Amino acid sequence: MDRIISADNSRDFQETILTNALHILLEPIYETVPRMRYQMLLNELDYASSDQDNTCRRVVIRGLFDSIDHLTTENYRCGFCDVCVPDLKFKLEKAAIPLQDAQVDEIAEQLPDFLSEFDKKPLQELLDRTIENAAVPGLLARVSNRLEGDSTNLAALYLAGALSRKRPGREILAFEYLKSAFNEGIKQGLSPDNLLLFYEEAVQVNAEKAFTWLTEVGGYWDNQEGLQFLIQEAAQRFGIDSKQHRILLLVSQVRNFNDVGDDFIKLKPKIETLKQGFERLS
Ligand SMILES: [Zn+2]
């Protein structure tokens, strides 16, 4: 009898180990593979809608398939696609060869290093150079392509969000990239200062929605110091009469009141003792 129970226990134990092991193995797959598939679809949609901001189809295609050290600027016109020639009456026999731009090519060359780790300042500087040199669609195509195989790369998510914001009609997509970056940043243990980089980009698209990221219960800013930062941010961003500012002030007041209440509870036994002492004296 003991042996049967022991065999059953052993089988249960093995099943538990197997279930846990499968869970550990499959969880990352369920988490990353659907995101990678969605990213592929998003990239196809981005290519299909590149006519919306009059970007030559080849700028996006070359962003994906060109050599790693070259990017095509948004001023390029191939003369051989439906955006460049909407009536499809092509006058060229083949697509125009893009001009080489040393400064733009430097961005392309540096990109792999910038994506290898999340470093706020160099990323912001790369973003500024990309905008100045009119390389937004090309670099966006390249970083979104990176996300197809590396969907949790924070630097790629940040650049995809910030660059999408610069292309007309892609505000919702930009916001979603930045939201993914913010949530993924929390999972990867990014500092609050770095998380604010995603927020600061996202508030340019939808300030009210982005602000709710910071006010999550149990989040980085759900403490006394964080609350003071949020009150200041709400006053600057939305004004002192805004709903956000008034609610946060109220939260601060309630917390202060609770602290006073807690102090009172701690003092209560001592007050009781004193009271009894005075009663005895009288
Ligand atoms: Zn074209």
**Residue 98 is part of which domain span?**
33-207
Q: Does residue 161 sit within a domain? A: yes
Q: Which tens digits make up the pLDDT trace of 39-88?
A: 999 999 989 999 999 999 999 988 888 777 888 999 999 999 999 999 99
Same structural domain for residues 171 and 240? no
Q: Judge if 219 and 167 occupy the same domain.
A: no
- The reply to whether 187 and 219 lie within a common domain is no
| 206-222 tens-digit pLDDT | 999 999 999 998 999 99
- For the cut 60, the answer to whether the pLDDT of residue 278 exceeds it is no
**Shared-domain flag, residues 232 and 269:** yes
Question: Which has the minimum average pLDDT: 15-19, 132-136, 137-141, 239-243?
Answer: 15-19
Q: What is the pLDDT of residues 231-271, one digit of tens each?
A: 999 999 999 999 999 999 999 888 887 766 666 666 666 65
Proportion of the chain above pLDDT 90, given as a percent: 63
Residue 169 and residue 229 in one domain? no
| Cα–ligand 1 centroid distance for 74 (angstroms) | 10
Same domain for 74 and 174? Answer: yes
Domain count, the chain: 2
Q: How far apart are CA 39 and CA 151, in angstroms?
A: 8
CA of residue 277 to ligand 1 center, whole Å: 92
Per-residue pLDDT band for 153 (boundaries 50, 70, 90) equals very high
Tokens of 21: 């092991």
Distance 55 CA to ligand 1 centre (A): 8
200 lies in the same domain as 144:
yes
Among 57, 31, 39, smallest CA distance to 144 is for 39
Q: Can you give the pLDDT at residue 177?
A: 97
Does position 32 have pLDDT exceeding 70, yes or no? yes
Calculate how far, in angstroms, residue 51's C-alpha sits from the geometric centre of ligand 1.
10
Q: What is the CA(70)–ligand 1 centre distance, in A?
A: 17
Distance from the alpha carbon of residue 136 to the mean position of ligand 1, in angstroms: 16
Rounded to the nearest angstrom, the distance between the alpha carbon of 58 and the centre of ligand 1 is 5
Question: Which residue bears the tokens 């009141």?
Answer: 257
Is 233 among the domain residues?
A: yes
Rounded to the nearest angstrom, the distance between the alpha carbon of 103 and the centre of ligand 1 is 22
The answer on 132 and 91 residing in a single domain is: yes
**Is there a domain that residue 4 lies in?**
no
| Long-range pairs of 56-60 with CB within 8 A, sequence gap ≥ 24 | 56/81, 56/83, 56/84, 57/81, 57/82, 57/83, 57/84, 58/95, 58/98, 59/137, 59/138, 59/141, 60/137, 60/138, 60/141
Task: Round to whole Å and give the CA distance between 64 and 144.
Answer: 9
Binned at pLDDT 50, 70 and 90, residue 151 comes out as very high
pLDDT of residue 261: 60
Q: Would 220 be classed as within a structural domain?
A: yes
Tell me how far the alpha carbon of residue 172 lies from the centroid of ligand 1, in angstroms.
Answer: 25
- Let me know whether 164 and 104 are in one domain: yes
The whole-angstrom separation of Cα 233 and Cα 244 is 10
Which of 159, 187, 207 terminates a domain? The answer is: 207
CA distance 204 to 175: 9
Q: How far is the CA of 227 from the centre of ligand 1 (A)?
A: 51
- Given 207, 230, 254, the domain boundary residue is 207
> pLDDT grade, residue 282 (50/70/90)?
very low
Give 75-114 pLDDT, tens digit per residue: 999 999 999 999 999 998 888 988 888 999 999 999 999 9
- 83 plus 222 within the same structural domain: no
Do 80 and 189 sit in the same domain of this protein? yes
Query: Which of 207, 225, 254 delimits the end of a domain?
Result: 207
119 and 185 assigned to the same domain? yes
* 128 alpha carbon – ligand 1 mean position (Å): 25
